[in-house]
Amino acid sequence: MSHQAIYRRFRPKTFDDVLGQEHVTRTLKNQIMTNNLAHAYLFSGIRGTGKTSTAKIFSRAVNCLNNRDGNPCNQCEICKSILDETNMDVIEMDAASNNGVDDIRELRDKVMFLPVKSRYKVYIIDEVHMLSKGAFNALLKTLEEPPDHLLFILATTEPQKIPATILSRCQRFDLKRIKADVIVENMKKICRDLNIKYEEKALKLIAANSEGAMRDAQSILDRCISFNSQVDYETVVSLLGAVNYRLILEAAEALVDRDIKRTMSLVDHILSSGKELTVFLDELIICFRNMLIIKATNSSDNLMRISEDEAHEIMDLNKKINLDDLVRTIEDLSTAQAECKKALNPRVLLETKLIKMLARKTEAGPVRTNKAQENTVKKEVAKKKVNKEEVRETPGEKSRENKSDQEIFDIITGQWDTILKEIRSENAGLQAIIRESRLMGVVNKKAVFEFDPKFTFHINAANQPKNKSACREILSRFLKEECEVEFIASSEAKEPPPKTTIRDVYEDLKKEFGEIVEFKQED
């Protein structure tokens, strides 16, 4: 006996066998049991979700002599003849190859004849969106005034291409992508029926790559069995051209550790082994996505493409990275993936992007000091050991134009992520530039941000008048305080002009701490 593909051998025979589409099958069973049938149905959805299988089950169920709770019995004469494709009352038509107006006119002439031995004459038209405009017009004539014995079942992957006049005359059912765990359980059952050994993580990898299509998963499973007579992880990786998850985890760990040398070595190993760059990036993005889900929800539910053991491994890795960095990493990798698809030399672009990600400095933390700042009045104030908490009001309590430089610095550094979100909501491009900088200090209500000297583009872009003005306005609005901005390279840090007289120092101290500071002139 010749080999029969798994997806055909295990095609569902009843509505109850159709997995992941209960919202469709329950309705159809109820209509059959209550004899409340429409004359035209449209099943839409991506490939491999059960459109044609559901249509065939429906064609048997409406004609079955011993219907069981809406399901066909598959044992009566009518059911057997439809299963054997010898029943002349159930006609399957592929619109991809029979899409002309003459084909539909011929169909329209035939539908007027009564069924030979069945209750209904059923026409199943697959990929109905492929019909020509003239063919749709011819079909519309039949759908407008169909005979009582006629039932149309249309199936399509692209319902948006079907004219509204046709859609309005059909009961439409949208078949969903099938969940990965449902696909995995079905493959386990198939393997048990075929007495095939399998690894669960291999089945999960198949399900992930099927993208919700049961037929695709079954076809991959069929290939694996033919290749190795069992389903193991390495076989699936090899057949799919995917990247071993162990390497993906190592690459993720190298990125989290900001280990440039190790990251470049892993990229070289993965790409040199013949793996597709876009596949590698996709798997890496999914890995960080899983980390993000665990970090944000504190749960390992709804993870993609991994087993429980692998979930525990990324939980450990998650301890090294915070939520904001996870989001930023996913965004950066997604941008790199999109750009690599259009690049002439995607590998070079990827390596450049990764090095840039790893070389990026962390955002501003505590107040930074350097030799220039140590000579400022603020340094003199620190030496006097004045208890600032006794005289400082909380941020936001002071009126406009009355916050000290130190308070402005504390607000910006303490709420930098919130400020970046505010900038992004108004100007995403500006936020992408500004986030590469960090606050060096605040002098005379001017916030000085510095960039690593290698970010030449960012420095020039930030200093463009419109960008500088936009940043100043947003920052001032956030602070409720007028605040100028300046953007420099870190090597350009300049010493603020020194205070030349004791009177200058006194004025600054008074501005900082109020009337508690007295100026006494020694004799």
* Residues paired with residue 429 on neighbouring β-strands, in sequence order: none
Count of CB atoms situated within 10 Å of the CB of 169:
18
Q: Tell me the pLDDT band of 242, cut-offs 50, 70 and 90.
A: confident
Q: Tell me the pLDDT band of 509, cut-offs 50, 70 and 90.
A: low
pTM for the model stands at 0.61
Q: How many alpha carbons fall within 13 Å on the CB side of residue 130?
A: 15
Checking if the pLDDT of 391 tops 50, the result is: no
**Residue bearing tokens 């006119």:** 105
Q: Which tens digit of pLDDT belongs to each residue from 209-241?
A: 888 899 999 999 999 998 888 898 888 888 887
Residue type, 82: I
Q: Which tens digit of pLDDT belongs to each residue from 22-31?
A: 999 999 999 9
Per residue in 329-358, is it b (16+ CB within 10 Å) or e — as a string? bbebbeebbeebeeeeebeebbbebbeebb
- The phi and psi torsions of 165 (rounded to 5 degrees) equal -65, -30
CA dihedral sign, ordered 462, 463, 467, 473 = positive
* Residues paired with residue 71 on neighbouring β-strands, in sequence order: 68
* Mean pLDDT, residues 364-368: 36
Q: Which tens digit of pLDDT belongs to each residue from 156-211?
A: 999 999 999 999 999 999 999 998 889 999 999 999 999 999 998 889 889 888 88
Are 57 and 15 contacting, i.e. CB atoms less than 8 angstroms apart? Answer: yes
Checking if the pLDDT of 363 tops 60, the result is: no
Q: Which tens digit of pLDDT belongs to each residue from 65-95?
A: 999 899 999 999 999 999 998 999 999 998 8
Q: Tell me the pLDDT band of 454, cut-offs 50, 70 and 90.
A: confident
- The phi and psi torsions of 517 (rounded to 5 degrees) equal -90, 125
Query: Of 90, 82, 98, which Cα lies nearest the Cα of 138?
Result: 98
Q: What is the mean pLDDT of the chain?
A: 83
Are 182 and 207 contacting, i.e. CB atoms less than 8 angstroms apart? Answer: no
Checking if the pLDDT of 433 tops 60, the result is: yes
Domains of the chain: 6-174 (3.40.50.300), 180-240 (1.10.8.60), 245-359 (1.20.272.10), 371-511 (3.30.300.180)
The DSSP secondary structure of 361-408, one letter per residue, reads: PPPP-SPP--HHHHTSHHHHHHHTT--GGGTPPPTTTSPTT---HHHH
Please state, in angstroms and rounded to a whole number, the distance separating the CA atoms of residues 450 and 459. 8
